Amino acid sequence: MLNVHCIEGRLAESPILKKTESGTCYTRVLLISKRNFKTKKESDYQSDSFLCVLYGTIAKSFVEMTCRGSHVSFVARVQVRPYENQSGERCYVSEDIVQSYNLLETKEVTDRRRKYLLEGQPAEEMALNEYRQAVEHIPTSYDEADWYQ
């Protein structure tokens, strides 16, 4: 059987490195991928969201080299897992378990974006336009609890 999912998009949030109870490093990210078509009703492109999980050394390097708005591509496998929500109902979540990733922008662009995120708003008009283009399809925030526990 073949279970390969190749996706490209931008990160909705800066990744945070976490550890499991057994000590394995991991990070969960929401990848926003812009569709390549417009609907008849919409004048703008819509986007899709993918919950992606990275484990081990690729998680460590990914967290160090990316931030919110970073343009990346993943090769992953789709996995569905159950969990119980706060009201005790059994729910299911689909995750992309990332096997490899590619950075689709230079280190300089990522470092500049990271600096803008730390400072708040970019000061220069050219930088502001670049920043807006990078994050235009990314929601301002998302509730991690809505995706998984």
d(CA 147, CA 149): 7
Q: pLDDT tens digit string along 78-129?
A: 999 898 888 989 999 899 999 999 999 888 888 888 887 777 654 444 455 5
- Tell the burial category of 69 from Cβ atoms under 10 Å away from its Cβ (0-12, 13-18, 19+): buried
d(CA 123, CA 142): 26
Other CB atoms within 10 A of residue 120 CB:
7
Show the tokens assigned to 66.
């990316």
d(CA 8, CA 51): 12
Determine contact, residues 46/33, Cβ cutoff 8 Å. Answer: no
Q: pLDDT tens digit string along 18-67?
A: 999 999 999 999 999 888 777 767 667 778 889 999 999 999 999 999 98
- According to the model, what pLDDT value does residue 102 have? 95
- According to the model, what pLDDT value does residue 133 have? 59
The residue that leads in pLDDT, 108 or 141, is 108
